[in-house]
A = this chain, B = another copy of it.
Amino acid sequence: MRTSLHTVGFLGFDVFGTVVDWRSGIARAAQPFLERHRIDVDPFAFADEWRSLYQPAMQSVRSGERPWVRLELLQRENLETLLARHGADFGAMPGAELAELNRAWERLDPWPDVLEGLARLKRRFPIGPLSNSHIAGMLRLARYGGLPWDTILGAEIARSYKPQPQTYLKSADAVGLPPHEFALVAAHNGDLQAARACGLRTIFVRRPHEHGPAQSTDLEPEHDWDIVADSFIEVADLLDCPRL
């Protein structure tokens, strides 16, 4: 094991993209909805567009322009923005149907290596999401996919969104650890960079299809992260976690 990781006492995980394949899951849930309402957009393009509204929406919270709100509210607002953009009258749609589509973010499949990798990592480390999602969303996603978290950290614990430093620092503090004893596992260089700036340990896992077949970002590590791997199983190997 890398020397710097000997003292790690918790592994926090970015979730959307790192643990679960949001693009396929959102496209799968959107397809019947789009057909039913005759909205002429490819379900994968719809997923990409919905996701692309995520950062600007959080930015209004990060900047202090609006108070902290749970991600599910931002996702719902973004859904309405997106529907309006495609000429759909979301105000005339049943609220329950929009709420149901918004819940698609809680029914996303883990990447194929995740369950085995997490089961092994959990034998040695406590594990939990360090995501911008709210606790209830992370809980329902975990129940859907069988993710064996020990507890849920992240934006709602800190009442701030990554990459703001307090999201990482308050998550580590909540489990009683100084930053250098807490590692973030993420498929995004920017997330790891912000975590490292706070003193956290960093584990990069390549997810080259998060954004589909033509992905051009985060294909490779952009810094000398403590660990670089292609799967959670490889992370478990590198951290000497016993086999199942």
Contact = CB atoms under 8 A, between A and B. Distances in A.
A147 to B, nearest CB: 9
A139 B171 CA distance: 13
A1 to B, nearest CB: 19
A120 to B, nearest CB: 15
Nearest to A156: B174
Contacts of A177: 136
Interface string A131-157: 000111111101100000111100011
Interface string A172-207: 001111000000000000000000000000000000
A126 B151 CA distance: 12
B139 A175 contact: yes
Interface of A: 126, 128, 134-140, 142-143, 149-152, 156-157, 174-177
Given A136-B177, A137-B176, 11 more contacts: A126-B143, A134-B176, A135-B151, A135-B176, A138-B151, A139-B151, A140-B176, A143-B150, A149-B150, A151-B151, A156-B174
26 contacts: A126-B139, A126-B143, A134-B176, A135-B151, A135-B174, A135-B175, A135-B176, A136-B174, A136-B175, A136-B176, A136-B177, A137-B176, A138-B151, A139-B150, A139-B151, A139-B175, A139-B176, A140-B176, A142-B150, A149-B150, A149-B151, A151-B151, A151-B152, A152-B152, A156-B174, A157-B157
